[in-house]
């Protein structure tokens, strides 16, 4: 399963002009570490997401709302000694004026496409490429996937990614993120 997700994300990185070496190192534009947890992000443009998903069975019209949303590729790694969990519903983007925006969960996109009659195979490909709504990271686990904001934010913003481990609740903060405009 991880190999398939890695292949899908490598294809997206290639489409966006970012690099991924065989050893898994990726040229991340944004990176932050809190304790033993590292969160990385790269903004994703409309054209790259449209290309990626039309090659996997979406029509250009069906994928357009997702492709035009403020989206990122995220990588998260647990280099600690205990497991941790994270839920996208707990993550927040906050701009300089204090406006808070949640991330749109993959299930919300999938529900829209199910109603619109998007083929099941395309929807499965979408789910495999997303940063899942809930993740458990065992020691050494690393996961990568895409996610979008519920609404765009203008100008730079901060992303607060919350996670839990046996010691309690924690946050990893990425500053200076911007939505990529094509």
Return the domain boundaries, the chain.
2-177
> 163, 142, 165, 161: which is closest to 82 by C-alpha?
165
**Topology given in CATH for the domain delimited by 2-177:** Immunoglobulin-like (2.60.40)
Tokens of 73: 């590729």
What would the two tokens of residue 5 be?
A: 């997700």
CA distances to 17, 25, 96, 155 from 131, in Å: 20, 18, 25, 24
Per residue in 39-98, pLDDT (tens digit) is 999 999 999 999 999 999 999 999 999 999 999 999 999 999 999 999 999 999 999 889
The stretch 113-129 carries a mean pLDDT of: 95
**pTM given for the model:** 0.85
User: Inter-axis angle of helices 46-54 and 120-129, to 10 degrees?
Assistant: 130
Q: How many CB atoms lie within 10 A of CB 10?
A: 17
The confidence score (pLDDT) of residue 153 equals: 85
Would the pLDDT of 1 be above 60?
no
pLDDT > 90: percent of the chain: 80
Task: Return the pLDDT at 7.
Answer: 40
Residues 6 or more apart in contact with residue 84 via CB below 8 angstroms: 37, 78, 136, 137, 163, 164, 165
Using alpha carbons, select from 48, 46, 53, 50 the residue that is nearest to residue 125.
Answer: 53
Q: Which residue has the higher pLDDT, 153 or 108?
A: 108
């Amino acid at each position: 399963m991880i190999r398939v997700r890695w292949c899908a994300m490598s294809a997206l990185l290639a489409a966006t002009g970012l690099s991924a070496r065989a050893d898994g190192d990726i040229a991340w534009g944004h990176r932050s570490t809190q304790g033993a947890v590292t969160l990385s992000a790269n903004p994703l443009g409309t054209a790259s997401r449209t290309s990626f998903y039309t090659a996997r069975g979406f029509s250009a019209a069906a994928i357009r709302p997702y492709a035009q949303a403020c989206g990122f590729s995220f990588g998260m790694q647990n280099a600690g000694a205990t497991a941790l969990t994270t839920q996208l519903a707990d993550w927040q983007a906050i701009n300089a004026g204090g406006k808070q925006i949640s991330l749109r969960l993959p299930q919300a996109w999938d529900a829209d496409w199910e109603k619109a009659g998007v083929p099941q195979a395309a929807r499965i490909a979408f789910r495999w490429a997303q940063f899942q709504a809930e993740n458990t990271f065992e020691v050494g686990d690393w996961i990568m996937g895409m996610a979008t904001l519920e609404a765009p934010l203008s100008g730079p913003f901060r992303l607060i990614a919350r996670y839990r481990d046996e010691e309690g609740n924690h946050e990893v903060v990425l500053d200076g993120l911007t939505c990529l405009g094509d």
